[in-house]
A and B are shown apart, each in its own frame.
Chain A
Amino acid sequence: MTRELLRVRDLAVRFFTEDGQVNAVDGISFTIKAGEVFGLVGESGAGKSVTARALMDLIETPGRITDGAIWYRNPELADQIDTSRAINGDFVDIRQIADPIRRSLRGPSFAMIFQDPMSSFDPTVTVGKQIGEAVEVQRRASADGHRAFAHSREYGLGSMLLDTIVPTREFVSPASMDRAVDLLEQVGIPDPGDRAEQYPHEFSGGMLQRAMIAQALAGEPDLLIADEPTTALDVTIQAQILELLAELQTTEEMSILLITHNLGVISQMSDRVGVMYAGELVEQGTLTDLFEHHVHPYTAGLLQSVPDVEDPSAELNPIDGTMPSLLDTEMGDRCYFADRCPKAMETCLEDPPVVDATSGEPMTEPNTTRHVTKCVLPNQPYDPTAALSADKSNNTEGSE
């Protein structure tokens, strides 16, 4: 069994808006092992991207990580940290370490590729230079010895002023530019030397997505977070990008957190899968657990709403209704899927426990490499006589 790389425990991200508190991510736990692809699926607004950004520490105001721990396995880092609370063996809780250290993890530990490659490159800087920047940041940081603390000193006020007075000063060294060209070649961009000199608008969407992957690879990350990497691309390019990701994952020996709402992509790429709904992980397990032995009705619903290639005439079975509002005041403490669930029962008006999907045994220490679900069904098989009637569910909604 491979080692665990990341243990996310009870992670909660809330947005404090004028309308009230939005529970975008509501206490989720999952584990990513070294060298595996963990897929995260769910419909739009389920909290997938927020989860990814929380790992990168890129949550923006009015959002905040309010609770939970992100244990990241890095023995080297664990040696450097003094705060004992933040250490558990080789694992470090990156939520508890100082900001500069956490920032220094971006690149060599976690890297991210974004949804829309077109808007993820600065239009005023050449593609090669932007990848070179990523290389340069890492090169300077590691040249300084104590990598974790060097980061904030690398480019400060002084460099900024100097750059303004002497506009020809280059931050990116020729060596880093060479490495950038190598990276472009590695992600399959033809003629990388000339391409590096071009601006983002001269690239196609697929090429830019490759360039972004190249940029993410610059720090040789342990975990690559791919936030819907193929959404903005057409299907043929999509396949190429996925192939590239799979290939790089083996050569670079990194883990990938793959976020998508495309079940086809998940089945093709992932080792294990988590299904998100309304800020919660409702079910997770291996690919076969989820696709063949799923327990949660939402997982079943998601799988049924995919068109069947074998039988194109078959009718689609979309899940009725929409995801509930994530406003704290309107959420209450219940199963958020109950209103749309074909198997909703009286007990679903209470918050369901996280249990083992087969035995129904509750998970106290969420050892989430097993097949688990947040549902009452494993313990209480569906009983039509106890079914939740529509008006009752509405009443509860009204009273809250």
Chain B
Amino acid sequence: MENGTLQAISESVEVSGTWKYPLGTDPLGRDMLSRLVYGARTSLLVGILGTLIAMSVGVPVGLSAGYFGKRVDDTLMRIADIMLAFPSLVLAIALVGLIGRVAIPVPAPWATLGLVSESMPKSFILPGTVVLVVGLVRWVWFARVARGEALSIANEEYIKAAKSVGASNMYILRKHVFPNAITPILVLGTIQVAAMIILSTSLAFLGFSGTTLSWGFDVAQGRDYLASAWWVATLPGLAILLTVVAINLIGDWLRDALDPGIEGETGG
């Protein structure tokens, strides 16, 4: 570190750590600590944006399937079943090939705020393909949960009451079914962020990342040096592990906080 900022590129390749590059550099002389820190941004953004995409596809599909039932349900859920039949990683790789390369430049917030230090990146490339792909692979989970909720909510008396005063289906779906189904969707959402991070790093490990700034890419790169420099592959791997565990813990906490039933059952 120098002047309080991370020195991203070394003049020479330093495999083992020095004071300047505590975790050493990668074979191209890039500081591993910097890569670890900035890799978090890629992983979290891919996880969160991918989840949002999966939600925005899966929730409407699931809610309509559960609410309308009959043929709508059959059609949508058969499509979902077909999606589920593919292993997600294989499907993701196929989709990456299908969609091609979409890169989204994202301005770093400090660049727009004017708090720029010369050595800091002004923007970074978000692997748009990966975001899209993980979202499209995972929407089925949301569809299934949303459908289950909508099925039980559709049979509630208050839905009949809403119909009996003349509310339209769209209105009932948006204002009565959706708010009552939101809890399990949110809980699933947090857990899916973790799942998407794993999926996107797996893709990166296999070389389908769209960016080289990714923990998965680092693990793949360090794989060749496991015998001589184990930390190159291990540390990004640990970063993935810690992030996923942390997000899952948030998910567990959210479930307990949002569901009064669980507390009551264990307490009583």
The interface of chain A, by Cβ under 8 A from chain B, is 56, 58, 60-61, 103-104, 106-108, 110-112, 114-116, 119-125, 130, 133-134, 137-138, 141, 151-152, 154-157, 159-160, 163-164, 171, 212, 215-216, 218-219
- Pairwise interchain contact A160-B174, C-beta atoms closer than 8 A: yes
**A111-B162 Cα distance, complex, nearest whole Å:** 10
**Given A125-B175, A163-B174, A164-B174, also A119-B168 (CB < 8 A):** no
**A114-B167 Cα distance, complex, nearest whole Å:** 16
Task: Sample 18 A-B pairs with CB under 8 A, ordered by A number.
Answer: A58-B163, A61-B69, A103-B166, A103-B168, A107-B166, A120-B161, A122-B176, A122-B179, A122-B180, A124-B176, A133-B171, A137-B165, A141-B166, A154-B168, A154-B171, A156-B170, A163-B175, A215-B161
Q: Among A104, A114, A157, A171, which residue has its beta carbon within 8 angstroms of that of B161? A: A114
Contacts of B166 in A (CB 8 A): 103-104, 106-108, 134, 137-138, 141, 151, 219
- The residue of chain A having its C-beta at the shortest distance from the C-beta of B173 within the complex is A160
Contacts of B158 in A (CB 8 A): 119-123
- Pairwise interchain contact A125-B165, C-beta atoms closer than 8 A: no
- Pairwise interchain contact A106-B164, C-beta atoms closer than 8 A: yes
Contacts of B173 in A (CB 8 A): 160
Contacts of B69 in A (CB 8 A): 61
Contacts of B74 in A (CB 8 A): none
Give residues of chain B (148-188) contacting chain A, Cβ–Cβ below 8 Å. Answer: 155-158, 160-168, 170-171, 173-176, 179-180
Contacts of A138 in B (CB 8 A): 165-166
**Given A119-B157, A123-B180, A160-B170, also A171-B164 (CB < 8 A):** no
- Pairwise interchain contact A125-B161, C-beta atoms closer than 8 A: no
- Pairwise interchain contact A112-B180, C-beta atoms closer than 8 A: no
Q: Among A119, A122, A218, which residue has its beta carbon within 8 angstroms of that of B165? A: A218
Contacts of A154 in B (CB 8 A): 168, 171
- Pairwise interchain contact A212-B161, C-beta atoms closer than 8 A: yes
Q: Among A112, A116, A157, A164, which residue has its beta carbon within 8 angstroms of that of B164? A: A112
- Pairwise interchain contact A155-B168, C-beta atoms closer than 8 A: yes
**Given A61-B70, A164-B174, also A124-B180 (CB < 8 A):** yes
- Pairwise interchain contact A133-B161, C-beta atoms closer than 8 A: no
**Given A124-B179, A141-B166, A216-B165, also A119-B174 (CB < 8 A):** no
Contacts of B164 in A (CB 8 A): 56, 58, 106-107, 110-112, 114, 216
**A156-B164 Cα distance, complex, nearest whole Å:** 18
Q: Among A56, A110, A123, A137, which residue has its beta carbon within 8 angstroms of that of B167? A: A137
- Pairwise interchain contact A111-B176, C-beta atoms closer than 8 A: no
New contact pairs (10) apart from A56-B164, A120-B158, A122-B179, CB-CB < 8 Å: A103-B166, A124-B179, A124-B180, A125-B179, A133-B162, A133-B171, A137-B168, A159-B174, A160-B170, A163-B175
- Pairwise interchain contact A155-B161, C-beta atoms closer than 8 A: no
Contacts of A216 in B (CB 8 A): 164-165
Chain A nearest CB, measured from B60 CB (Å): 9
- Pairwise interchain contact A133-B175, C-beta atoms closer than 8 A: yes
Task: Enumerate the 6 nearest inter-chain pairs by beta-carbon distance, A residue then B residue, closest first.
Answer: A107-B166, A134-B165, A155-B171, A120-B157, A119-B157, A112-B164
Contacts of A115 in B (CB 8 A): 157
- Pairwise interchain contact B176-A125, C-beta atoms closer than 8 A: yes
- Pairwise interchain contact B180-A133, C-beta atoms closer than 8 A: no
Contacts of B179 in A (CB 8 A): 122, 124-125
Encode contact with A along B52-96: 1 for CB under 8 Å, 0 otherwise.
Answer: 000000000000000001100000000000000000000000000
- Pairwise interchain contact A119-B156, C-beta atoms closer than 8 A: yes
Contacts of B165 in A (CB 8 A): 106-107, 111, 133-134, 137-138, 215-216, 218-219
Q: Among B70, B161, B163, which residue has its beta carbon within 8 angstroms of that of A121? A: B161
Contacts of A121 in B (CB 8 A): 158, 161
- Pairwise interchain contact A155-B163, C-beta atoms closer than 8 A: no
**A116-B156 Cα distance, complex, nearest whole Å:** 11
- Pairwise interchain contact A171-B171, C-beta atoms closer than 8 A: yes
Q: Among B163, B168, B175, B176, which residue has its beta carbon within 8 angstroms of that of A152? A: B168
Contacts of A106 in B (CB 8 A): 163-166
Contacts of A119 in B (CB 8 A): 156-158
- Pairwise interchain contact A171-B170, C-beta atoms closer than 8 A: no
Which of A120, A138, A141, A157 counts the most B-chain CB atoms under 10 A from its CB?
A120
Chain A nearest CB, measured from B173 CB (Å): 7
- Pairwise interchain contact B160-A58, C-beta atoms closer than 8 A: yes
**A115-B167 Cα distance, complex, nearest whole Å:** 20
Contacts of B163 in A (CB 8 A): 56, 58, 106
**A17-B69 Cα distance, complex, nearest whole Å:** 16
Contacts of A171 in B (CB 8 A): 171, 175
Contacts of B180 in A (CB 8 A): 122-124
**A122-B172 Cα distance, complex, nearest whole Å:** 11
Chain B nearest CB, measured from A101 CB (Å): 12
Which of B155, B163, B179, B180 counts the most A-chain CB atoms under 10 A from its CB?
B163
Contacts of A116 in B (CB 8 A): 157
Chain B nearest CB, measured from A166 CB (Å): 12
**A238-B186 Cα distance, complex, nearest whole Å:** 41
Contacts of A215 in B (CB 8 A): 161, 165
- The residue of chain A having its C-beta at the shortest distance from the C-beta of B182 within the complex is A124
- The residue of chain B having its C-beta at the shortest distance from the C-beta of A108 within the complex is B166
Contacts of A104 in B (CB 8 A): 166
Contacts of A157 in B (CB 8 A): 170
Chain A nearest CB, measured from B146 CB (Å): 14
Contacts of A137 in B (CB 8 A): 165-168, 171
Chain B nearest CB, measured from A308 CB (Å): 35
Chain B nearest CB, measured from A200 CB (Å): 9
- The residue of chain A having its C-beta at the shortest distance from the C-beta of B161 within the complex is A120
Chain B nearest CB, measured from A107 CB (Å): 4
Contacts of B160 in A (CB 8 A): 58, 112, 114, 120
**A313-B162 Cα distance, complex, nearest whole Å:** 46
- The residue of chain A having its C-beta at the shortest distance from the C-beta of B174 within the complex is A160
Chain A nearest CB, measured from B122 CB (Å): 30
Chain B nearest CB, measured from A207 CB (Å): 16
